[in-house]
Amino acid sequence: MPLRELLERTVLGLDETVQALLTSFPQPVKVPIRDGFVPRYKDRTILVLVFLKAVKIASNNNAAMALIRAGFVQETYALCRMIDEACEDIIFMATPKGENGQMSNDQRRFMLEFFQEELENPNDPFSSAKRDRVPRKKIHAALSRMRGTESGNPSLHQAVAQALHQTYSGFVHGPYFHIMELFGGPEGRFYTAGLEGTPRIEECERSHVNYVYRSLAAVEMVAYLADRPDVVARVDSLRLELARETGCDPQPS
């Protein structure tokens, strides 16, 4: 099966599993903000948080496939950083890491900041709320300690996570060397309308396999926490098929 077709099919399946998880939660209620109403979840729990991160993962992967079809490689990589962060957030919040099964201080900070509205005063568009955001380095450190328990080398995991984060940050912020990657071709021009027909597309598809695989693993964790064995089984099937077809994980089980 062509790689793009496999990616399209897997991302569609990923989206379907996230939509299936919606039935595990009460419908959002409408709350008044400014001169209208917006949907909000009544309960602000870890489970709601990680589910909404899974929604973001599904949306970003659909967007990534649309960008790959259009040839926008660097813009796809910018989305990959967003996907990676959402996957990290799910793993970071999935298990309470404080004393007696309670959330740690950083997890509480993360949760409060996540559910915080954009404006301090909903009726004043200039009243931006102050945000107490947990630094990404702290999240990487927490995840590295978890993974390091298995491998015995937490510092290596943290270094790898930080290096990937910094590399893909470039596709968000646009430094000199990334912008110059858009220049080329026999006519010597900037490819601002996409890189379709260049080797960059194939590279991007191969790279995106890893992000789809990680997305599936994160959504599987959410399904497990939501006590949805049907969704766990579906996500697991998609993940194993992707690993078998691409070799992205030599030990997918």
| Residue 20 predicted with pLDDT over 90 | yes
> What is the DSSP track for 17-47?
HHHHHGGGSPPPEEEEETTEEEEE-S---HH
- N-terminal to C-terminal alpha carbon distance within the chain: 22
Q: What is the mean pLDDT of residues 36-51?
A: 95
**pLDDT of 172 strictly over 70:** yes
Q: Is the per-residue pLDDT at 115 higher than 90?
A: yes
* pLDDT at 159 > cutoff 70: no
The pTM is what? 0.90
Mean predicted confidence (pLDDT) in 64-83:
96
Domain range annotation of the chain: 3-118+199-246
The pLDDT score that the predictor gives to residue 149 is 52
Backbone angles phi, psi at 38, to 5 degrees: -130, 150
* 184-209 residue pLDDT tens: 988 899 999 999 888 999 999 999 99
Residue 143 near residue 151, CB atoms below 8 Å: no
What's the mean pLDDT when you consider all of the chain? 90
Is residue 32 scored above 80 in pLDDT?
Answer: yes
Between 4-18, 153-167, 220-234, the lowest mean confidence (pLDDT) is in 153-167
**What is the structure's pLDDT at 141?**
87
